[in-house]
Amino acid sequence: MTSGTGPATSPSSREPRTVDRGPGFTEGAPSPFDAFRDALRELYPRVHAQLEVERVARHGLLLRWRGASDERPVVLMAHQDVVPVVPAEWTSGDPFSGEIRDGSVWGRGTLDDKGSLAVLLEAVESLLGEGFVPAQDVWLSLGDDEEIAGISADAAVARLRELGVRPWLVLDEGGAVVTGAFPGVEAPIAVVGVTEKGILDVEMSTAAAGGHASTPERGGATWRLARAITRLEAHPFPPAMTGPVLEMVDGLGRHSSPVLRSLFAFAGPLAPVLARVFTRVSPETNAMVRTTVVATMLEGAPGANVVATSARANLNVRIAPGETVASVLARLRRVIADDEVDLRVVASTEPSPVSPTDAPQFALVRSAVGAAYPDALVSPYVMLAASDARHFTSIAQHVYRFSPFAMTREQREGLHGNDEHVTVDALGRGVVFYRALLRGLADR
């Protein structure tokens, strides 16, 4: 990217591989994040000359753009780090090439989340070139360890709290502009996360007598663990239409086909029925209306002919708004119904508070979406994944999650998968979005 109103060169073509873990990562070795910061200095000279830049935690960056007032500060977020890749599985070429081909920039991080970082800095760089001064202080929080739930965002929050900064608005990555995501709605939809699900990782384990596989006893550790997993799959958490989902259905339902419009008009009274329907439409809609549980890692005996003395599985739980870590653990124990199966919490976060949509902050985001995507509807939604935004809910009441890119289902599947790419058109519109948002501060 170069300063201006749209992309000229790939934002990834000159970047180091800022992967937080995986093959080649060595603690204490020269960091690719330092090289990435050098590249940012070169690509965005006005940003680094005119904003106050502070390093937080390991490689996080906190930049302050002083505005006409410091009374209603805004925090705009993105993260520098990316998830690892398996190069052999990429059909589009080198995952870190940043090649521009067929109207898209290809490479790890183009959508998650260096694309957002690039268009955010591009917007600020171009506005600085025009002599623009924001109506209020703007802080840029660029974390370096979002993908591993690290400490960078927490450190940024601690620093802002130390400075007495109470953000009027926080905007991080999250929803996108999507099509075909809601029944009966043909228009593109900009889904803005107003909350995000909590996360709970639980180690589920059991022990039993071991021995040789030629003489197994009944009820061994692996069988007991397998039974617990199948019980959890057979008895999922009950679905429920939470406030943000009902608001989404009510708003988008007005733009759906005539038959569905009449159905969605009674979303409140029909909430239990709609919740069950959502569980069957797609994995995404299912996850919107319930707490989900999946066994992600399994471990048993050390050899093929050994009866395991212990077996364990990691349960990754995504907690829906309205549930808590405590209530989830209680249900897991009830469903497993086996005192010989132990549950140990590895890590947990509660669901984030729901940010309001009848507020000037949300209206500002809506207006900026309209500038970049005039035909898009704007809707709140429950963000299914985790983001650094959850840390900022301790100092701000209006925390939203939106990436200003149009994404197909294929692109969304590539976020942590293979052949990740963003269209050049979406990058240009992303710059328009942030410019409109920053200029719109004067009207709020």
What pLDDT is stored for residue 198 in this prediction? Answer: 97
Least confident window among 158-167, 175-184, 292-301, 400-409:
175-184
Per the prediction, the chain carries an average pLDDT of 92
Residue 157 predicted with pLDDT over 50: yes
Residue 139 predicted with pLDDT over 50: yes
Residue 309's φ and ψ, nearest 5 degrees, are -85, -15
Phi-psi sector, 164: left (phi>0), alpha (psi -120 to 50), beta:
left
What pLDDT is stored for residue 18 in this prediction? Answer: 66
What pLDDT is stored for residue 380 in this prediction? Answer: 98
Alpha carbon distance, N-terminus to C-terminus of the chain: 30
Residue type, 165: V
What pLDDT is stored for residue 12 in this prediction? Answer: 39
pLDDT exceeding 70 applies to what percent of the chain?
93
Higher-confidence residue of 366 and 215: namely 366
Query: What confidence tier does 212 reach under pLDDT thresholds 50, 70, 90?
Result: confident
What pLDDT is stored for residue 431 in this prediction? Answer: 99
21 three-class SS: coil
Least confident window among 94-98, 137-141, 325-329:
94-98
pLDDT tens sequence across 23-37: 444 555 668 999 999
Torsion angle, CA of 404/406/410/411, rounded to 10 degrees?
-40
- For strands 377-383 and 189-196, give the pairing: parallel
d(C-alpha 234, C-alpha 337), whole Å: 13
Judge contact between 146 and 135, C-beta under 8 A.
no
What pLDDT is stored for residue 440 in this prediction? Answer: 98
Query: What confidence tier does 3 reach under pLDDT thresholds 50, 70, 90?
Result: very low
Edge-to-edge strand list for the sheet holding 292-299? 292-299, 310-319, 198-207, 342-349
Residue 6 predicted with pLDDT over 90: no
444 three-class SS: coil
pLDDT tens sequence across 421-437: 999 999 999 999 999 99
Residue 348 predicted with pLDDT over 50: yes
Residue count of the chain, please give it: 444
pLDDT tens sequence across 337-346: 999 999 999 9
Strand partners, 423: 104
Average pLDDT, integer, range 276-300: 94
What pLDDT is stored for residue 2 in this prediction? Answer: 38
Residue 334, Cα to own-chain centre: how many angstroms? 30
Judge contact between 420 and 108, C-beta under 8 A.
yes
d(C-alpha 184, C-alpha 253), whole Å: 8
Measured over the CA atoms of residue 326, residue 329, residue 334 and residue 335, the dihedral's sign is: positive
* H/E run at residue 297: strand 292-299
Judge contact between 65 and 133, C-beta under 8 A.
no
Domains and CATH numbers, the chain: 32-195+353-443 (3.40.630.10), 196-349 (3.30.70.360)
Torsion angle, CA of 79/176/7/438, rounded to 10 degrees?
-80
d(C-alpha 384, C-alpha 198), whole Å: 9
| Structure token pair of residue 367 | 């207006």
Judge contact between 239 and 279, C-beta under 8 A.
yes
Residue 299 predicted with pLDDT over 90: yes
| Structure token pair of residue 334 | 């009830």
Query: What confidence tier does 350 reach under pLDDT thresholds 50, 70, 90?
Result: very high
Of 440, 360, 399, 358, the C-alpha closest to 170 is 399
pLDDT tens sequence across 218-277: 779 999 999 999 999 999 999 999 999 999 999 999 999 998 898 898 999 999 999 999
pLDDT tens sequence across 352-396: 999 999 999 999 999 999 999 999 999 999 999 999 999 999 999
pLDDT tens sequence across 384-403: 999 999 999 999 999 999 99
In 235-379, alpha helices (H): 243-253, 258-264, 271-281, 283-288, 325-336, 360-372
d(C-alpha 398, C-alpha 396), whole Å: 6
What pLDDT is stored for residue 19 in this prediction? Answer: 64
d(C-alpha 17, C-alpha 208), whole Å: 45
Residues with a known catalytic role? 81, 146
94 three-class SS: coil
